[in-house]
Copies of this chain bind each other. A is one copy, B any other.
Amino acid sequence: MTNPLLLHLEKRDALSPAERDIILEMSANQKVFPAKVDIVREGDNPTESCMLLSGFSARYHILADGKRQISAIHVPGDFVDLHSFLLARMDHSVAALTDCRVAMVPHTHLRELSQTQPHLTRLLWLSTLIDAAIHRRWIVTSGRLSAAGQLAHLICEMFCRLQVVEMVEEDSFRLPISQIELGDALGLSTVHINRTIRELRERDLIRWQNSQITIVNWTSLKRFAQFEPIYLNLEPERR
């Protein structure tokens, strides 16, 4: 299996052989986290950043009144908390949604890299910028789309992101996320998520059984979700 971070980066720009090696070396020190366990915790001041090799994880925030909101879902190839390299204290936690294999990269290593590898640094920077673009898109969908629109948009986004790391088969992919977690991600109640999934099924846009999503009609789904993948920067470019 190809290293997913390589897939993620090489989808956006060409890497030199030396840069490829550096990425591969970064994946050397691996750790496994079982589902439901926190990978990084709010208040931590990490000395290493982690990159997701397999599994799904989520960035979540707990409010004073106990409510939870997921602000990002991460898939293999995502450099999950790369930002903790420059941001001091974590203002949120990251949890494994499924069993996760992650690579731990010491901040000292990243700092060194930022001194000696400008192009690779720009690509890592880019990776955090794409995360930010995804955040912005979530703001837009949560502000202006109906529940069904939001959910459809998330499905489109996941489809495209998983495609990059070769986790899509034809029109179908696994999204091992419970309806409770989806509610926390979209800012909706579990009950409403359930009804919204049903709505998408009834509109014959998707099939969804046992975490397996099949897109019945990509064109209609895209239109329904007002999905435009430009923000994911899926085109290779000189950066």
Q: Interface residues, chain A, CB within 8 Å of chain B?
A: 59, 61, 63-65, 67-69, 71-72, 83, 86-89, 91-92, 111, 114-115, 118, 121-122, 125-126, 128-133, 135-140, 142-145, 184, 186-187, 223, 226, 228, 230-231, 233, 235, 237, 239
Cα distance, A67 to B139, chains bound together (Å): 13
In the complex, the answer to whether B63 meets A140 with C-beta atoms within 8 Å is yes
Which of chain B's residues have a CB closer than 8 A to the CB of A121?
114, 118, 121
Task: Identify 16 residue pairs between A and B in the complex whose beta-carbon atoms are under 8 Å apart, listed by A's number.
Answer: A61-B137, A65-B226, A69-B144, A83-B132, A87-B130, A91-B228, A91-B231, A111-B122, A114-B118, A114-B122, A132-B132, A132-B135, A135-B136, A139-B142, A142-B143, A144-B187
Cα distance, A235 to B89, chains bound together (Å): 10
Cα distance, A61 to B153, chains bound together (Å): 15
Q: Given A91-B228, A125-B125, A132-B135: A140 and B61 within 8 A (CB)?
A: yes
Given A63-B145, A143-B187, 12 more A-B residue pairs with CB atoms under 8 Å apart are A61-B140, A68-B144, A69-B140, A86-B125, A89-B230, A118-B121, A131-B132, A135-B135, A142-B142, A142-B187, A143-B184, A144-B187
In the complex, the answer to whether B63 meets A144 with C-beta atoms within 8 Å is yes
Cα distance, A68 to B226, chains bound together (Å): 13
Which of chain B's residues have a CB closer than 8 A to the CB of A139?
69, 71, 135, 138-139, 142, 187
Cα distance, A148 to B107, chains bound together (Å): 40
Which of chain B's residues have a CB closer than 8 A to the CB of A143?
69, 142, 184, 186-187
Q: Ordered nearest first, which 6 A-B pairs have the shortest CB separation?
A: A143-B187, A135-B135, A132-B132, A71-B136, A91-B231, A69-B140
Which of chain B's residues have a CB closer than 8 A to the CB of A68?
144
Instruction: Write the nearest CB–CB distance from A172 to chain B, whole angstroms.
Output: 26
Question: Can you name the residue of chain B whose Cβ is closest to the Cβ of A227?
Answer: B64
In the complex, the answer to whether B144 meets A67 with C-beta atoms within 8 Å is yes
Cα distance, A64 to B225, chains bound together (Å): 10
In the complex, the answer to whether B140 meets A87 with C-beta atoms within 8 Å is no
Q: Given A61-B140, A63-B226, A71-B136: A86 and B126 within 8 A (CB)?
A: yes
Q: Given A91-B231, A135-B136: A86 and B239 within 8 A (CB)?
A: yes
In the complex, the answer to whether B126 meets A128 with C-beta atoms within 8 Å is no
